[in-house]
């Protein structure tokens, strides 16, 4: 038997920040305010490859039109492509086949572009994680005295 805690800050946050209703659909700059690994309480997250339903839970903070919203996302630990899309949007290295553990706290405090959509029950959901193009150019930044080089060329300046 476990004691319940009512009125927690997590319950208050999940009720939706200060915005009235769910976050409107659209693309927003969102900050990852919380990222944690946990067992999902939802049966649909349990699969033969992931029988415990392990997920990375993300809390996104969005401010738009003078309103603040929270959008939540659970990514199953088996969805490596989805996690790599998130890492790409955060400008972090991808997970490769040698990676066995994931440090989700590295995501906290990062800003990304997030496309928000509404599920069938009207809740705001995280859609696409979008790489902020203004932060990464197609050319490698040049150090003083060196020229910028486009990726894939043989003139790598080091």
Torsion angle (degrees, nearest 10) of CA 28, 61, 69, 82: 60
- Burial class from Cβ neighbours inside 10 Å (0-12, 13-18, 19+) for residue 11 reads exposed
Instruction: Determine the Cα–Cα distance for residues 52 and 132; give it in Å rounded to an integer.
Output: 34
In a domain, 143, yes or no: no
Cβ proximity of 79 and 87 under 8 Å: no
Beta strands in 89-155 (DSSP E): 111-118, 124-130
Q: Please count the CA atoms within 13 angstroms of the CA of 93 that sit on its side-chain side.
A: 7
Per-residue pLDDT band at 3 (split at 50, 70, 90): low
In this structure, are strands 111-118 and 67-76 parallel, antiparallel, or unpaired?
Answer: unpaired
Residue with tokens 């996302």: 73
| Per-residue pLDDT tens over the stretch 13-30 | 555 455 668 999 999 999
Q: What value does the mean pLDDT of the chain take?
A: 80
pLDDT tens for each residue of 83-137: 999 999 999 999 888 888 889 999 999 999 999 999 988 899 999 999 876 444 3
Inside any domain, residue 152: no
Confidence of residue 61 (pLDDT cuts 50, 70, 90): very high
Does residue 153 fall inside a structural domain? Answer: no
Is 148 within the bounds of a domain? Answer: no
Residue 25 falls within a domain, yes or no?
Answer: yes
Q: Is residue 155 part of a domain?
A: no
Residue 147 lies in a domain: no
Range of the structural domain that residue 94 is part of = 12-42+49-135
Residue 70 lies in a domain: yes
CA distance 38 to 4: 18
Strand partners, 113: 29, 130
Please count the structural domains in the chain: 1
Please give the model's pTM, rounded to 2 decimal places: 0.71
């Amino acid at each position: 038997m476990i004691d319940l805690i009512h009125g927690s800050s997590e319950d208050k946050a999940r009720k939706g920040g200060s915005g009235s209703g769910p976050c409107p659909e659209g693309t927003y700059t969102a900050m990852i305010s919380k990222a944690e690994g946990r067992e999902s309480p939802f049966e649909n997250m349990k699969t033969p490859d992931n029988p415990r339903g392990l997920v990375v839970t993300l809390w996104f903070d969005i401010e738009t039109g003078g309103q603040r919203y929270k959008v939540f996302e659970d990514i199953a630990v088996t969805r490596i492509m989805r996690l790599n899309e998130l890492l790409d949007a955060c400008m972090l290295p991808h997970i490769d086949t040698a990676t066995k553990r994931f440090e989700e706290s590295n995501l906290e405090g990062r800003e990304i572009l997030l496309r928000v959509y509404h599920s069938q029950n009207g809740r705001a959901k995280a859609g696409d994680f979008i790489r902020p193009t203004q932060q990464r150019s197609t050319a490698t930044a040049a150090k003083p005295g060196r020229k910028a080089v486009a990726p894939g060329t043989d003139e790598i300046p080091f």
